[in-house]
Amino acid sequence: MINITSAAFPAIHAATEADTETVGTPWINISVFLAFVVVTLVVVIRASKSTSTAADYYAGGRSFSGTQNGLAIAGDYLSAASFLGIVGAIALQGYDGFLYSIGFFVAWLVALLLIAEPLRNTGKFTMADVLSFRLRQRPCALRHPFRLWP
């Protein structure tokens, strides 16, 4: 367990002192949040009207180009992994955080070279589908909850 003392981490100490005053105006923050939620719901409900097959749901009916898909993946990773995780890792651990983020990035090559094309060729959409398609069904379904990543 890491014992964070305010002497060793002056930035955290200053932040806890500033907790007594609010950051920004609360009603603006909440309305921006609600606007995002409403826009997302509208897009999803409109898209759901034309979704019928599994290919439509999982893979967008295979109507997205490679670039569009890449942008979607980048959007995923720009939210939590980069802004929260990697920034924090570099701030707290310096070069080790940078090294950690490179691991994230190089790992995409494993997905690209070894997994992407064969997985797409099976015509299945999730890792669990592919594994149960290729291996015996019952033991595979039992191991499903213990996978580490989807």
Partner 1 sequence: MASTPPVDSAHSAAYDFTDAQRSDQFQQLRKTHRSFVFPMAVAFLVWYLLYVVLAIYAPEFMSQRIFGNVNLGLLLGLLQFVTTFGITAAYVSFANRKLDPQATALREHLEAAGAGRGEG
The residue ranges that bind partner 1 (CB under 8 A) are 55, 62, 65-66, 95, 98-99, 102-103, 105-106, 108-110, 112-114, 117, 120, 123
Question: Tokens at residue 101, please?
Answer: 């983020």
Q: Which is nearer to partner 1, 23 or 113 (CB)?
A: 113
Least spacing, CB of residue 143 vs partner 1, in Å: 24
Least spacing, CB of residue 46 vs partner 1, in Å: 24
Residue burial 32-54, b: 16+ Cβ < 10 Å; e: rest: eeeeeeeeeeeeeeeeeeeeeee
Question: Measured between alpha carbons, how far is residue 25 from residues 18, 28, 143 in Å?
Answer: 15, 6, 48
Least spacing, CB of residue 97 vs partner 1, in Å: 11
Least spacing, CB of residue 96 vs partner 1, in Å: 8
Residues contacting 19, CB < 8 A, separation 6+: none
Q: Which is nearer to partner 1, 91 or 102 (CB)?
A: 102
| Cα–Cα distance for residue pair 50/46, rounded to 1 Å | 8
Q: Which is nearer to partner 1, 66 or 75 (CB)?
A: 66
Q: Which is nearer to partner 1, 13 or 119 (CB)?
A: 119
| Cα–Cα distance for residue pair 85/79, rounded to 1 Å | 9
